[in-house]
Amino acid sequence: MNIILLGYPGSGKGTQAKVLSQKLGLFHVSTGDIFREELAKDTPLGLEVSGYLSAGRLVPDRLVLEVLKSRLSKETRGLLFDGFPRTVEQAEGLDAWFDSRETTLDAVIFLNVPEAEVAKRLGDRRTCPKCGKIYNLGTKPPQKPDICDTCNEKLITRDDDTPGVIWKRLQVYKDQTEPLLAYYKSSGNFYEADGGQAPESVAAKIAAMLDGK
């Protein structure tokens, strides 16, 4: 099974992707995580994408598609995309890649959350740099302030979760990613979930939608 999670930054794609990929045995593909890892390791790719990430702009389609194709060429599990595609060009590239592998896209799940809510969530988001666990100061705080419950590491605010960059990322979403809703709505595999609810209840709704797929 191949699935795409769509939605604003902060709509809960990362959180849902972790639950779903475990439950369904899928390989979780987060392009944002890939770029942040490369950046942390100071690789040539990390250096190339660094300016885009810190400004909240999209990495060029050609580069995103190249990176994914090389990373996924040997992957045999089903794929769960989180943060990809983000443009119609990327979606077309993914379609062509699926065709070349004689496989198909089974579901596109749109996590619908109002813009004001995602802006607040992004500002309150804290992340564990070690295990990637995501917290929210308002709705899901760590037990000890600023410390990861799982690995005791000090939590960080992502560089792009600062007010100016959050604003830019939301603009970029509306301009470049939102057109994907129309692109996929006619596919027959499009599902919408109210992402404004608690993560457990969103996960249960998604599981119910995918039941029987």
Tell me which residues are annotated as active site.
13, 86, 125, 158, 169
Interaction between residue 108 and ligand AMP (CB under 6 A)? no
161 close to 125: Cβ distance less than 8 angstroms:
yes
Stretch that binds ligand AMP, among 40-48, 52-60, 105-113, 130-138 (CB under 6 A): 52-60
Residue type, 13: K
Which CB, 84 or 184, lies closer to ligand AMP?
A: 84
Q: CB of 182: closest distance to ligand AMP in angstroms?
A: 18
Q: In this chain, which stretch among 15-23, 78-86, 124-132, 141-149 interacts with ligand AMP, using CB under 6 A?
A: 78-86
Residue for token pair 């077309």: 92
Q: Apex CA 26: angle with CA 75 and CA 207, to 5°?
A: 160
* By the rule CB under 6 A, 59 interacts with ligand AMP: yes
Contact in structure between 6 and 113 (CB atoms under 8 Å): no
- Cα 109 to Cα 111: distance, rounded to the nearest angstrom: 6
Q: Which of 52, 97, 190, 191 binds ligand AMP (CB under 6 A)?
A: 52
Nearest residue (CB) to ligand AMP, 26 versus 166? 166
Contact 29, 81 (CB under 8 A): yes
